[in-house]
């Protein structure tokens, strides 16, 4: 009987502690990229249940894995949700720490697994110092500034594109951004700057251009319709180039010879783009009444639904829908009716010539069960 009680006690203990079926591992994320520890999330992708692990400002994080499992896939994403590190490694019963090294350069990353019987500090110092030295010797850093002088949309992101690899980073509130790539790359890298997808009004990509190898600084100027991208070489007088470029660009803006489409009533506005965005949103709010639509009637779950509208303002100022996508055709028809009622505008002007402009606008609808 005592033996049976002993077995029952052991069984209960195992149920409570899961018989130590999982073990906790300490992780350290050393990010040599310029957006250091800016809202990074780690995910253990090979677990049955995906778990997002917050990486703190010091780059520290913890996660649990089954002791019996021999392999795992550790993914780390940045603040805009793009993958920056993805590695497939091995965990044994002796694993205690994981060190993740990343410098922002395409495929330049390393994950070190440290066992509990190894000297973590010496391994950490050796690996981090070697990685930093490699980064210093093999990569170059380019600084950039993006100035938005005429549009109210404030959130932008940039990407350094090569072959099929894309990884976006946010541009800070001052318009500053930095990036790295290998010295003397075999093929060129392309700079892409676009609106962050979180904005209500999303234009096509603003800049997409290959970066000369000898570039040290970048100046990107934009006013909602005009744009200018300047690559500054090492040894050039950056301050003088920046001052002259900004002065010339502001003179173009002040003349209003070039501008985006003008919504009726915005003719006297100093900022046509701001007024356009404001009046467009007012029009949609005023004419889009969905109180008679329930989620049940459309066979949809209640909550927020997105209708993505791509439209143009043509050379005559008419608004035309190019495409519209929604979780239900009825929602597409309702939103289309609102855009069909848009008034005629003044077309965008570039170099004294009316031009067609395209926009992408996500329209958010809240559906209930009523």
The pLDDT tens digits along the chain (370 residues) read 544 444 444 444 444 444 557 788 899 998 887 655 567 888 876 655 667 888 888 889 988 877 776 677 788 887 766 777 777 666 677 788 989 888 877 667 888 889 888 999 999 999 999 999 988 888 888 999 998 876 555 677 777 766 445 566 778 888 888 888 888 766 678 888 887 655 444 445 788 888 988 899 999 998 766 789 999 998 999 999 999 999 888 876 655 567 889 999 888 776 677 788 888 988 998 898 888 888 888 888 888 888 999 999 999 999 999 999 999 999 999 999 999 999 999 998 887 789 998 888 888 888 887 6
Handedness of CA 151, 156, 160, 165 (dihedral sign): negative
Query: Does the domain spanning 272-367 belong to CATH 1.10.287?
Result: no
Helix (H, G, I), strand (E, B) or coil at 202: strand
Give residue limits of the domains in the chain. 21-138, 140-255, 272-367
Model pTM above 0.85: no
> How far is CA 367 from its chain centroid?
28
Give, for 146, the enclosing helix (H) or strand (E). strand 139-148
Distance CA 259, CA 352 (A): 10
**Region of residue 211 (left: phi > 0; alpha: psi -120 to 50; beta: else):** beta
- SS3 for 112? strand
Q: How far is CA 329 from CA 56, 241, 341, 367, in A?
A: 44, 52, 19, 15
- Residue 203: CA atoms inside 13 Å, Cβ hemisphere, count? 24
Q: Do domains 21-138 and 272-367 have the same CATH topology?
A: no
What tokens were used for 86?
A: 């993805």
- The architecture of the domain spanning 140-255 is Sandwich (2.60)
Q: What is the CATH number of domain 21-138?
A: 2.60.40.10
Give long-range contacts, CB 8 A cutoff, 24+ apart: 286-292: 287/337, 287/338, 287/341, 288/334, 288/335, 288/338, 288/363, 288/365, 290/334, 290/365, 290/366, 290/367
Residues with Cβ < 8 Å from 339, sequence gap 6 or more?
Answer: 309, 311, 319, 321
Residue from 237, 246, 218 nearest 160 by CA: 218
CA distance 177 to 191: 11
Classify burial at 93, counting beta carbons within 10 Å of its beta carbon; exposed 0-12, middle 13-18, buried 19 or more: exposed
């Amino acid at each position: 009987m005592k033996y049976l009680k002993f077995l029952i006690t052991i069984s209960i203990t195992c149920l409570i502690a899961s018989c130590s079926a999982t073990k906790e591992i300490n992780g350290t994320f050393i990010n040599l990229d310029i957006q250091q520890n800016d809202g990074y999330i780690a995910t253990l992708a090979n677990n049955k249940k995906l778990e997002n692990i917050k990486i703190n400002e010091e780059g520290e994080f913890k996660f649990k894995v089954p002791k019996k499992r021999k392999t795992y896939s550790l993914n780390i994403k940045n603040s805009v949700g793009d993958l920056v590190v993805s590695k497939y490694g091995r965990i044994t019963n002796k694993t205690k720490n994981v060190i993740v090294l990343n410098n922002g350069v395409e495929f330049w990353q390393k994950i070190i697994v440290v066992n509990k019987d190894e000297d973590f500090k010496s391994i950490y110092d050796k690996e981090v110092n070697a990685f930093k030295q490699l980064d210093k010797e093999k990569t170059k850093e380019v600084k950039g500034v993006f100035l938005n002088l005429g549009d109210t949309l404030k959130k932008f992101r940039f990407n350094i594109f090569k072959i099929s690899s894309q990884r976006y980073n946010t541009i800070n509130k001052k318009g500053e951004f930095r990036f790295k790539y290998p010295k003397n790359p075999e093929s060129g890298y392309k700079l892409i700057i676009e609106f962050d997808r979180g904005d209500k009004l999303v234009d096509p990509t603003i800049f997409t251009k290959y970066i000369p190898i000898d570039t040290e600084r970048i100046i990107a100027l934009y006013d909602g319709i005009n744009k200018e991208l300047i690559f500054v070489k090492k040894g050039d007088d950056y301050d003088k180039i920046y001052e002259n470029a900004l002065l010339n660009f502001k003179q173009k803006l002040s003349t209003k010879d070039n501008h985006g489409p003008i919504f009726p009533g915005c003719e006297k506005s100093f900022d046509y783009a701001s007024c356009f965005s404001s009046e467009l949103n007012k029009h949609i709010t005023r004419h889009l009444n969905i109180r008679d639509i329930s989620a049940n009637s459309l066979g949809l779950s209640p909550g927020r639904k997105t209708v993505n509208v791509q439209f143009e303002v043509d050379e005559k100022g008419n608004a035309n829908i190019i495409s519209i996508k929604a979780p239900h055709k009825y929602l597409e028809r309702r939103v289309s009716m609102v855009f069909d009622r848009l008034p005629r505008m003044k077309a965008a002007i570039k170099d004294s010539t009316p031009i067609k402009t395209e926009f992408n606008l996500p329209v958010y609808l809240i559906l209930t069960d009523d």
